[in-house]
Structure 1
Amino acid sequence: ALREVLPALSSWRQGRQRRSTVDGWRYRIVWRPQPEPEKAELAGRWVLVVPAGHLDDDLVQATSHGLGDRARIMPVSGTADRAELAAQLAALRGDADAPLHVVSLLALDDRDAGGHRGVPSSLLSTLALTQALADSEVKARLWAVTQGAVSTDAAAGGPETHRASDPIRNPGQAALWGLARVFGLDHRERWGGLIDLPGTLDEHALRRFLALLGGDGGSQDEYAVRSSGVHVRRMVRAPLAPSAVPEPWQPRGTVLITGGTGALGAHVARALAAGGAEHLVLAGRRGPDAPGASELSAELTALGTRVTVAVCDVTDRAAVAKLLDSFTDEAPLTAVVHTAGVVGEARPLGETSLDDAMAAVHAKVSGACHLDELLADHPLDAFVLFSSGAGVWGNGGQGPYAAANAALDALAEWRRAQGRPATSIAWGAWAGGGMVDEAVAEQLRRRGVPAMDPVLAVHALWEAVDHGETTLVVADIRWDRFLPAYTVSGPRPLLDELPDVRQLLAGQKEEQADEAGEKGSELPGRLAALPEAKRKRMLLDLVRTHASAVLGHSSTDAVRPARAFRELGFDSLTGVELRNRLNAVTALMLPATLVFDHPTPTALAEYLRDELLPPEPQPEPQPEPQLEPEAGGGTPVLHELQQVASALQAAGDDDTRRALTEGLRGLLAQWEGQTPPPPATVDDELAEASDEDMFDLIDRELGTG
């Protein structure tokens, strides 16, 4: 009997472990009601950035009227680039000293960019605007405004979203949330926030909107304003409810997997084949010529599934329509799993071209839109979209990718509100391949997002479809690593309701209280009280500590003071992260090009010293010693000695002066017929050195001074 019980117990235990692991990966976005915002004085100057063809829109007129004569409208054409927008901002700013606030209503332009379905023109103009703000010397804060881009239902994304009381009305505008969120991460000092307004802006919603613009929302930066009140965005844990599954998903007929021969598509295909799918269609740009396609087809066939590997670029609407028309009634299409898309190279928004942004969104969103529209009247059991956590919390250096994934999540909510099946999962990193290569996967691991077991990830997908989830985050997040990097430039209220984060933040506050003298505006005072050598050491340690944290090192040993940041492994993205960290601890507004302008830790520490402390007073220049020539006009030797005396006045660093001193003493000893004294040894210098001299000496001996 025991032999029969043990396997059952083992299976039960494994099931509990799997359930616990997957539950630990599940999160959801919710919207929490907030107290009524107080009416605030709208100080400063305001610029409404408006698409050129929408100057008469109700939202533009209502906002302009509400801001009064302090507001100026800045029309933007669809072809405007960052330089043009920067010039417009500078002209509107003028010479006034009042703060400038920029309110972007660019979301009103709902045209597709470049004829690419699902790529809003407003996304590209918003990218150009963020670049113009970053380029400009104008000190301004950006508010990005949308209408009907989010749903404030109590548990948006859960099964109850099927009966949404506040459905998404403009899913395309959600892409701006993904992009603008990344701008807020990279440029906290220029960030106001995101505000979504209702489709109809009544007097109650307008009053709340203006109150948010003029008020002090603290750290809040993601709002949804409705006639009923104001809501803020939060991410919460979402363990699976212990309830029976009303309609478990049983794959049948034909299941289409876009990106089917890629790593993610292959993991899904294996699970569907094992689950009984009759016919799998693996669609991709290269079809049977894709690496590993023939081996995957053979593997799936061996599981008893008929496999078709099709050539289809899902961004091409005609190609998608042709593929869908090829399915027969014998094995009708019953489910779609859209995994196609590309991550692209991570780079700051300031280095992202409009063409690159359009390509990144086009690759992921256009195909989803084509499938949604072409299958609008086709009965499906499942319509699954592969999204990413980048669209939920924003990843520095991945603005267009974040935009694309935010758009996919919104498309799923919009479909579900229309009564059609849809599940969008914002994934973390997958092991066994996926959307990123090994180098990026290692970087994600160091930042607190380790790769998930593909078997468990597919299990999470299956459960999400079983339980009628609309949007869901499935990611293994190690908050002790993730949180410090994510909050380096300021608090992120998105995470306020996560118990793990609350505990970590409580610990951080205690540490910050203990180290308050080293933070922000108190740092200059502490530096000023130190001798110069100790200032250098303190700032160099500060730079090396934060550089090590950005690179994922456990100590500062690998960050040599004189080694170039590029050689240490810094790129434009990690350079921005280091800049953000140093902004937070110094209270400075450092440029994004910091590690390129000051290419070594030593050079950067010297720059910080100059920025944090006023220049030391320079001694009054002393008159050059004049050597009186002998009667009769002197000699050439005296003339040359005069030149030597002038050159000595320009002697710079201590090492040079020390060498010159020893040389002059030697010459003098020879002139007087004496034996020159031996050069000072390290022991001699240590015996006579002050504290400041000792630090300088150690730096010289180690090659770090």
Structure 2
Amino acid sequence: MIFGECSNLRRVINIAGIAALPNNATAAAAEVLDVLDRTLRLMQAMAQAAKDGADGMPELWLPICLGNAVVDGDLASASARLPASHAGIWGLAKAFRNEHPELASTVTLDLEEAECSASGLAAQLQYLSKQRAAGLAEPELAARTAKLLVPRLVDSTQRLQNDLGNPSFGSDGMYMVTGGTGALGLLFVDWMVRCGARHFALLSRSGQPPADSKAAFRKLEKQMAKMKGVTFSARKCDIGSGADVLRVTTQVLDEKHVVKGIVHAAGTLADGLIKDGQDRTTLKTVCSAKVDGSLQLHNAADQLDLPLEFMWLFSSVAAMIGSVAQGNYCAANAFMDSMGARRRARNLPAISLQWGPWADVGMAARAGTSEGSIARLDPERGLEAMALVLGAASLLRPAGTLGIARIKWKSLLGQMPKVPPVLSKFGGSSGPKKASAAAAGAVVSADDIKGVVVGVLQDVLEGEGDLDLSTPLMEMGLDSLAGVEFRNRLQASFEGLQLSSTLMFDYPTVPDLVDYIYGQVGPAEDDLAAGGGATLGDVGAMLSIAARRNLEDGAIEHFVEFSVCCFKLLLVEG
């Protein structure tokens, strides 16, 4: 479709996400990848059309089927043999909204299975259209029992801290750890040893520890060698291959072990912006461990009737916030969160843990990235948080999705052109953020705008000193990822300002950009003639303007997508 020729369209609806998945794990993983790829290409086409100057871009609606645990028992109604859905679309859409705030709304709608028939879908879409015409602006919704519900992140610190507990693991059980030879996997193996576990099968693609975890592997190997009746073996296994997972698991069982727990810590990154840095290859790279791997682990446990006491799925905080340039990672982890929730709906053990970046271990440490709005987790504090989660297992919500991260909310939300409704309890409002002077109708001078632009630029460049304002922005160190943050934060600073994704090409220097912004938000001629008025500097901090809606039947309610526990860390429960 050529969107530049479709300005008369109000919305584009991609219904691929409501289809049931095949019963075979390998076929299901392939179908998930196909649908994510088609959705990605649709998003890219819309982003390109907007870049090319198409007017009146339509909204993008993305219905899925039973991707979230919204009300008690809803996921138990799923008829599919595999506990899986196209929930990855939910995560991909989060990233797309953050990367392209200039586009019309991208709406995800989670439907019950009965509403995914042709007639049921038509009725739901008509109802949603009516509500949006009446002012409903929520981008994430779920339809359950004839009601629309919206997600909200809420604090549940006190509730989960009531039961700290002392985790322990049986010395007779075998524990399979994917990504087990990596630094993060070994961190948890060492902790589990301290809590009583004695038998481990460490699964990885090579069967060998990578360079950054060889020392930790050798140390733990020597420690285990001093104990009696233990198993500590690294095993070569492609976690995305059903045959490989069944082979290794059967081998473990043939050695007379009883597999009582699975830790799925495998993962990889392939970052890039949706518009031009993602494709089917980068999707497949990330989905192989998260989507294929979790499906194959479930399949092996089911086929071999493993008496599992737990299955820990290591997800990412990216799936919660929609990290820029990690659309594939958001999608893959959102799929895994949903699969964990669907397992729990069948009374099968699962917890999905949305970890933030770790200090010293894990992919962020290995990549050498700097801390941003999400600070690094100290390993010991992360393990303390895990102990807290296990101690409060009986108090978890049905989804069983927990996030553990150190989020600097002011910094994180300050990068966004508006506070996403799901995070509104942490940003004071889910409406557009506007500069105080602009919101009050006061005069904003070119010097005020220059001060804001330079301030945001220095912040994004992490404290660079005096800047040569004649230097092109791209030469200052603004790469594509930092450029998205810079654009979003500038849009958040001025009421009504819209900046295109080609910002750094259209206005390559600070003076060029200031001139453009002044032309968009500066005073009209009659304001200049009147003189006086407050300036941005006079008024001070930004305001959040709350969005309001009036619905005919009051059918919109909140559902808890996640809840948060803070003890200098952030624990997020779904």
TM-score range, shorter chain: 0.7 to 0.9
Residue type matched to 2:403 in 1? V
Which residue of structure 2 lines up, in the alignment, with residue 479 of structure 1?
409
Residue type matched to 2:287 in 1? V
Aligned-residue sequence identity (percent) comes to: 26
Which residue of structure 1 lines up, in the alignment, with residue 35 of structure 2?
122
- Take 1:252 and 1:218, find their aligned partners in 2: how far apart are those partners? 55
Alignment gaps of 5+ in structure 1: 1-84, 155-160, 528-534, 617-705
Which residue of structure 1 lines up, in the alignment, with residue 337 of structure 2?
409
Q: Deviations over 1:3-40 (max 9, x none)?
A: xxxxxxxxxxxxxxxxxxxxxxxxxxxxxxxxxxxxxx
Matches within 5 A, 1:531-680: 535=446, 537-553=447-463, 557-584=465-492, 585=494, 587-609=496-518
Residue type matched to 2:384 in 1? H
CA change 1:462–1:612 in 2 (3 A) is: closer
- Contact 1:576/1:593, CA 8 A, preserved across alignment: no
State the SS of the aligned residue for 1:282. Answer: strand
- Take 2:84 and 2:406, find their aligned partners in 1: how far apart are those partners? 27
RMSD in angstroms over aligned alpha carbons?
3.4
- Take 1:573 and 1:478, find their aligned partners in 2: how far apart are those partners? 19
Residue type matched to 1:296 in 2? F
- Take 1:153 and 1:247, find their aligned partners in 2: how far apart are those partners? 29
Which among 257, 274, 284 is matched to residue 331 of structure 1? 257
State the SS of the aligned residue for 1:281. Answer: strand
Residue type matched to 2:156 in 1? A
- Contact 2:186/2:216, CA 8 A, preserved across alignment: no
- Contact 2:65/2:111, CA 8 A, preserved across alignment: yes
Deviation at 1:425, TM superposition (A): 0.5
Which residue of structure 1 lines up, in the alignment, with residue 436 of structure 2?
516
Which residue of structure 1 lines up, in the alignment, with residue 126 of structure 2?
210
- Take 2:501 and 2:453, find their aligned partners in 1: how far apart are those partners? 15
- Take 1:471 and 1:174, find their aligned partners in 2: how far apart are those partners? 14
Which residue of structure 1 lines up, in the alignment, with residue 546 of structure 2?
none
Which residue of structure 1 lines up, in the alignment, with residue 152 of structure 2?
234
For normalisation by structure 2, the TM-score amounts to 0.77
Which residue of structure 2 lines up, in the alignment, with residue 177 of structure 1?
90
Matches within 5 A, 1:170-569: 171-188=84-101, 189-201=103-115, 207=123, 209-214=125-130, 215=132, 216-239=134-157, 240-243=160-163, 249-250=169-170, 252-288=172-208, 290-291=210-211, 292-293=213-214, 295-303=216-224, 304=227, 305-327=230-252, 328=254, 330-376=256-302, 377-437=305-365, 441-442=369-370, 445-447=371-373, 449-466=374-391, 467=393, 469=396, 470-485=400-415, 488-498=416-426, 501-502=427-428, 516-518=436-438, 526-527=444-445, 535=446, 537-553=447-463, 557-569=465-477
- Contact 2:319/2:331, CA 8 A, preserved across alignment: yes
Deviation at 1:274, TM superposition (A): 1.6
Equivalent residue pairs, number: 494
Deviation at 1:329, TM superposition (A): 5.1
CA change 1:174–1:397 in 2 (3 A) is: same
- Take 2:171 and 2:66, find their aligned partners in 1: how far apart are those partners? 34
Deviation at 1:385, TM superposition (A): 0.6
- Contact 1:183/1:191, CA 8 A, preserved across alignment: no
CA change 1:562–1:218 in 2 (3 A) is: farther
Residue type matched to 1:564 in 2? P
Which residue of structure 2 lines up, in the alignment, with residue 140 of structure 1?
58
- Contact 2:174/2:259, CA 8 A, preserved across alignment: yes
CA change 1:243–1:108 in 2 (3 A) is: closer
Alignment gaps of 5+ in structure 2: 526-574
Residue type matched to 1:599 in 2? P
For normalisation by structure 1, the TM-score amounts to 0.64
Q: Deviations over 1:232-289 (max 9, x none)?
A: 1111223325248699654642111111111210111111122222221111122236
State the SS of the aligned residue for 2:337. Answer: helix
Deviation at 1:432, TM superposition (A): 1.8
Deviation at 1:141, TM superposition (A): 1.4
Larger Rg: 1
Deviation at 1:178, TM superposition (A): 0.3
Matches within 5 A, 1:76-115: 85=1, 87=2, 89-91=3-5, 93=6, 98=8, 100-109=10-19
- Take 2:288 and 2:499, find their aligned partners in 1: how far apart are those partners? 34
Deviation at 1:593, TM superposition (A): 2.1
Deviation at 1:322, TM superposition (A): 1.3
- Contact 2:497/2:517, CA 8 A, preserved across alignment: no
- Contact 1:280/1:307, CA 8 A, preserved across alignment: yes
CA change 1:610–1:439 in 2 (3 A) is: farther
State the SS of the aligned residue for 2:85. Answer: helix
Which residue of structure 1 lines up, in the alignment, with residue 530 of structure 2?
none
State the SS of the aligned residue for 1:142. Answer: strand
Deviation at 1:109, TM superposition (A): 4.9
- Take 1:457 and 1:224, find their aligned partners in 2: how far apart are those partners? 32
- Contact 1:168/1:413, CA 8 A, preserved across alignment: no
Deviation at 1:392, TM superposition (A): 1.5
State the SS of the aligned residue for 1:117. Answer: helix
Q: Which structure exhibits the higher relative contact order, with contacts defined as CA atoms closer than 8 Å and separated by 6 or more residues?
A: 2
State the SS of the aligned residue for 1:456. Answer: helix
